[in-house]
Every structure is written in structure tokens, then in C-alpha cells.
Amino acid sequence: MMLSGIDLEQLAEIELQKDEEEQKSVGGSLSTPASVPREASYLDINHPYYDVARHGIIQVTGDDNYGRKLVVFSCCRMPPSHQLNHQKLLEYLKYTLDQYVESDYTVVYFHFGLRSINKPSLKWLQRAYKEFDRKYKKNLKALYVVHPTNFIKILWNIFKPLISHKFGKKVTYVNYLSELRDHLNYDQLVIPPEVIRHDDKLRATQKGGPPLPAKTPPPRPPLPTQQFGVTLQYLKDKNQGALIPPVVKGTVSYLKLKGLQTEGLFRRSARVQAIKEIQKLYNLGKPVNYDDCDDIHVPAVILKTFLRELPEPLLTYDLYEQVHSIASVESSLRVSHCKMSVESLPEHNYVLLKYLTCFLHMVSQESIHNKMTPFNLACVFGLNLIWPPRGTASLGALMPLNMFTELLIEHYSKIFGSRTPPSEVLP
């Protein structure tokens, strides 16, 4: 028997109420919206989406293990429906995704905190799925549904006729936060404290409890040829004083020769196994031949991975506040602000940053072919060049970090023209 839209809405409501009862039984109910991070909204109070952005429901953070941008949706931050215009929420989600959908990206959906009082209607969900056309679905590589409940299963059955098999394969259900570590750069993930507490309670009430995450063993001393996860000083000491690490020189040289006109360069992800194999070769000091990979995006991901795995960002923690303050600097003075900031870097960081930025400037000059303008490159590299000393960068912090990076690339000659260290190397 076919159920009407009203019947389906009632069925979903019943399941959601059951979920709420279950959450209460484990002490995990949420009577008020979750706490909102200090930088939840990066939009001006007069911006048309400020009233939605201020809740911090949607966040964009670092990359996953495959080099894809992470978009986080937290239900626990949704206020009661009468306080939130759901149509505007949908528009704001599209507005946010529009900045990243040309690149491969991943969505993490934290289900905890969805209640009868803040739940959008099924009609809204149906409209949302239809409005997210191929432009949004094509480069979505994974959707992680964290702490799924029976409500999610009911929803899935209701929407099954609309959902393509291809899209369905992108969905992964995650019962415990620890499972995300296999897929994501967990430490860069913006997880509401309420979700973490809910996860702890779920573990405590599970019969016998799920296996606790294995304790991280003490780090082994790095190999003399190690390239990833070691300091710039270590790399310099182990490479006869060279300031450009072999992995950077190798990837940049190859991409300069064969990748400058590749459409979407640095936007695409690569097979994680291929990345691990190349990392292992570099760490063992063995030669790497990118022609064997038959994928120009492998060296591009390797370069981003190297930057992301540095113990301290290339732009350094000391410079974080200066970089973050760029948006508050008068437009005409921003290039000077960038120049002054990077000229204060230690010589090694400056030389490597200049080398990398020089190459990214070259890439941007081929944007008629590769579509990678300074803005698009900044969206990819911003969080790979700098991240906060503590915690994760929120969506609010991303805008100034990306703006600073865009200025570096676009105004490369002005920003790096004055300081020429004797050890300088350019691609």
C-alpha cells in the first residue's frame, strides 16, 4: 500500500520521537541548540545569510585523507524551526558549497541533535535533494552519516526512489567517531562538544562496549631520508643543507613540465593507495617516477600532503594572527601587509614559501586552460599553508586564510621582490 506524504511525515515524526526517547535513556538528549563556536559566522551582520551562518550549522575545515575539502553539517546546532528559515538554510548551504564544488569534496553529517522541534519537513528534504543537481553531486566523493538512527533508515526508504545507485554508494554510516579516523584528518574536524559527549555515552551504554581506539604508540625516530611529518630543520640537516626538500622539488618539477595546463590541477583527489606508496618511496629515499602513476593528480596531492603533514605550518604559528587579521586591513594596504608578514619569516620558511608561491603563480597564469585562478588555488592551499596553533580552523577563519594566500599568488612579484636570500632557489 502506498503511503501519502502526510503518512510518511507522521512515520518519520514517530521514529524521530523514538530516537529522542532513546537518547534520553542514555542521557544524551539535547533540550537547547548546541554551543556555537566563537568564529561560527565569518559573514558581516548585514550579509543576507548572516542569520543562518551565525548558528555554525555548516563548517568547512581541512582536507580528508584523500586530499578533499571537508564540509561539516551539525544538526545539534540547528535552533527550533520557528527560529530558522529552512529555505534560507538550503540557500546558504548552496552558497557555501559553490565555493568548493569544482573540487572533490567530502561531507560529514552529524545526526545527533535532530529533534522534532528543529527538524525540516520531508518536503524540504525532498526539494533539497532535487536542488542539489549534478553540479553538487559530481564532485561529492563521500558522505559520512555519523550516529545514524532508525529515523535515517526511514528517510532512506522514503527517498530511495529518488536516490541514484551511484549516489547511494557514496554514503557511509559511522556509528562511532573513532571510525572517522580511517577516512579523515580527524584532528582538523570541527566536532561540536555535544556530539563528542553523545559518542562517549553511546560507547558506555554499548553492551561490552565497542573496542576502544588503540593507543597511539610512541613515535619512532624518523628515517634519515624521511620526507613527511618532519620539521624543515630536519629536512635541511639530512639533505646537505638544501632548503627545498626533495619531495617539493620532485613534485613541482614534474607538474611544471607536464601539468600546468591540466584542468582542475590541485582540485582533484587521487587513489589513497597510490599516495601511500609514493610517500613510502620518498621516506625510504628511493627514486619516484610519476610517469608510472599515469595520473597527474598524484604529484599534486603529494605536494599538498607534504605541506599538511609538516609539524608546524609553512607560514608558522607565529604568523597566524597576522594572516588571520588580513580581512580587517584596508583593501589598498593588504599587499603591503602580506609582504611585511612573509618577510618576517625565518629564512628557510621564506625560501620554501617563495619557491612554492612562484610555482603557484605559474599555475595561475595558465588558468585559461587549467581553470586555477589565484582564488581557486587559494581555496585549495590556504589551510595547507597555515592552520591555528590550537583546535581547528572554522569556516569563519577560512576566509581570511584563503584571502592571504590569494594575495601571495596574485601579487607574487610585489610581495617577494625585495627579499632575495643567498640560498634562494626558484622552480
- Concatenate the DSSP letters of all residues of 82-138 into one string: GGS-HHHHHHHHHHHHTTTTTS-EEEEEE-TT--TTTPPPHHHHHHHHHHS-HHHHS
Distance CA(113)–CA(29), nearest Å, equals 8
pLDDT at res. 292: 93
pLDDT at res. 130: 81
**b vs e for 139-175, b when ≥16 Cβ sit within 10 Å of the residue's Cβ?**
bbbbbbbbbbbebbebbeebeeeeeeeeeeeebbebe
Q: Per residue in 237-288, pLDDT tens? A: 999 999 999 999 999 999 999 999 999 999 888 888 898 899 999 999 999 9
Are 337 and 329 in contact, with CB atoms under 8 Å apart? yes
- The two beta strands, 105-110 and 140-146, are parallel
79-86: long-range contacts (C-beta < 8 A, 24 or more apart)?
79/33, 79/55, 79/118, 80/33, 80/117, 80/118, 81/117, 81/118, 81/119, 81/120, 84/52, 84/55, 84/118, 85/51, 85/52, 86/120, 86/121, 86/124
| Cell numbers at 53, concatenated | 551562518
Give the chain's residues under pLDDT 70.
1-44, 65, 162, 207-220, 391, 393-395
pLDDT at res. 154: 74
pLDDT at res. 3: 42
CA dihedral sign of residues 378, 384, 388, 394: positive
pLDDT at res. 218: 54
pLDDT at res. 105: 87
Q: Per residue in 23-77, pLDDT tens? A: 555 555 555 555 555 544 456 677 788 888 888 888 887 777 677 888 899 999 9
Beta bridge pairs of residue 143? 107, 171
